[in-house]
């Protein structure tokens, strides 16, 4: 696949939301349903061309239509979810969502046969064979390629905030990992993932993208799986940090925050603001704290001179950006905590039921 183009960065503030879900059976356990749901049946009109699957046959992905009016994001995300659940129900399946399915055992699950994924399995081997992860990806349109790269650079500091708030994957192969987002750590086992380095300009990013294609390091630009990236095909900044969520209100809190952040950073770029860079190692430390502690994380401050509790950061961000969703999200029980509570009370069956849509 060809690399993208700076010409694709034309519109500011549009939205697109991609969600990854699990196809489950009547007992809430992972089952290979994507062949039937994606290839062997006609999806609802809203999902036509916006329904795909991931590496495993129990992971399915949806995409919203282009959302030109951010106030309609909730309407669009809910409609896509409702269409997916109805489609799955019509074929005898259920839909669940979390960063990892607590009952998924990768050795016993089928991989997709799509050539793209077969090529990845052959090239990457073990880290990809076990990749049962599911995430939430938010695209925000940016009207200038260099601006998009600058925004993506600055967004790196906010990635751990989003990840900590979204932490929803404590279980891996039925085992309590002691982490709040085991998904993030498992996904980092793949190449070209995690916290990217900063790029000086779109030209620098474009050279990197083309070099990776030319050297066979990736087969297409979509295999640059960083936590945040300029998407040179869609003309967006794509935020890929959060765990997948069963609760649509949690998803919409992240959509609100991502849109507000990108809009704010775009204005700061246009004002010529210079923001001192942080070492990638500090950003990685914050990501680790988010993975390990979730809502209880204390993150290294933007200035790098101390630590700040996640709740304090959330309050600052909401006041600064004029939003409320992530404050409400922080004040409620985290997904990881809920899953652990459900397991203690009702075992694995209760956890599986709790993440169904």
Task: Answer positive or negative: Cα dihedral of 116, 121, 127, 133.
Answer: positive
At residue 142, φ and ψ (nearest 5 deg) are -130, 140
Taken in order of first residue, the domains within the chain and their CATH numbers are 6-354 (3.30.590.20)
Q: How far apart are CA 357 and CA 350, in angstroms?
A: 14
Residue 201: other Cβ atoms inside 10 A: 12
Q: How far apart are CA 339 and CA 354, in angstroms?
A: 7
- The average confidence (pLDDT) of the chain is 96
The token pair at 224 is 């640059």
Q: Given this model, what pLDDT does residue 92 score?
A: 97
Interval 116-129: pLDDT, tens: 999 999 999 999 99
pLDDT band at 3; cut points 50, 70, 90: low
Interval 275-315: pLDDT, tens: 878 889 999 999 999 999 999 999 999 888 899 999 999 99
Residue 59 contacts residue 109 (beta carbons within 8 Å) = no
Interval 125-166: pLDDT, tens: 999 999 999 999 999 999 999 999 999 999 999 999 999 999
- Examine the pLDDT at 2 and tell me if it is beyond 80: no
């Amino acid at each position: 696949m060809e690399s993208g183009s700076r010409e694709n960065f034309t519109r500011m503030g549009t939205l697109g939301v991609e969600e990854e879900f699990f196809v489950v059976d009547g007992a809430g356990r992972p089952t290979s349903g994507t062949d039937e749901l994606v290839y062997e049946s006609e999806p609802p009109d809203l999902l036509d061309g916006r329904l795909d699957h991931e590496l495993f046959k129990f992971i399915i992905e949806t995409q919203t239509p282009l959302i030109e009016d951010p106030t309609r994001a909730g309407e669009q995300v809910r409609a896509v979810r409702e269409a997916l659940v109805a489609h799955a129900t019509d074929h005898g399946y259920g839909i669940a969502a979390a960063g990892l399915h607590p009952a998924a055992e990768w050795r016993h699950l089928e991989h997709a046969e799509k050539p793209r994924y077969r090529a990845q399995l052959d090239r990457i081997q073990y880290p990809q064979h076990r990749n049962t992860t599911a995430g939430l990806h938010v695209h925000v349109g940016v009207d200038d390629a260099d601006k998009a790269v600058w925004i993506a650079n600055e967004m790196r500091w906010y990635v751990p905030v989003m990840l900590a708030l979204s932490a929803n994957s404590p279980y891996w192969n039925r085992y309590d990992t002691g982490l709040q987002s085991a998904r993030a750590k498992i996904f980092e086992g793949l190449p070209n993932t995690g916290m990217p380095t900063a790029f000086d300009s779109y030209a620098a990013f474009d050279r990197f993208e083309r070099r990776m294609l030319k050297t066979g390091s990736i087969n297409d630009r979509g295999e640059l799986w960083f936590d945040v990236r300029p998407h040179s095909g869609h003309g967006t900044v794509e935020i890929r940090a959060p765990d997948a969520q069963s609760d649509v209100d949690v998803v919409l809190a992240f959509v609100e925050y991502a849109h507000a952040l990108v809009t704010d950073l775009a204005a700061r770029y246009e004002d010529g603001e210079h923001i001192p860079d942080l070492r990638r190692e500090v950003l990685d430390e914050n990501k680790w704290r988010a993975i390990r502690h979730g809502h209880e994380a204390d993150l290294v401050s933007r200035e790098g001179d101390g630590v700040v509790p996640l709740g304090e950061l959330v309050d600052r961000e909401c006041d600064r950006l004029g939003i409320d969703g992530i404050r409400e999200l922080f004040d409620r029980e985290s997904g990881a905590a809920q899953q652990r509570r459900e397991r203690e009370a009702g075992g694995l069956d209760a956890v599986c039921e709790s993440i169904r849509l």
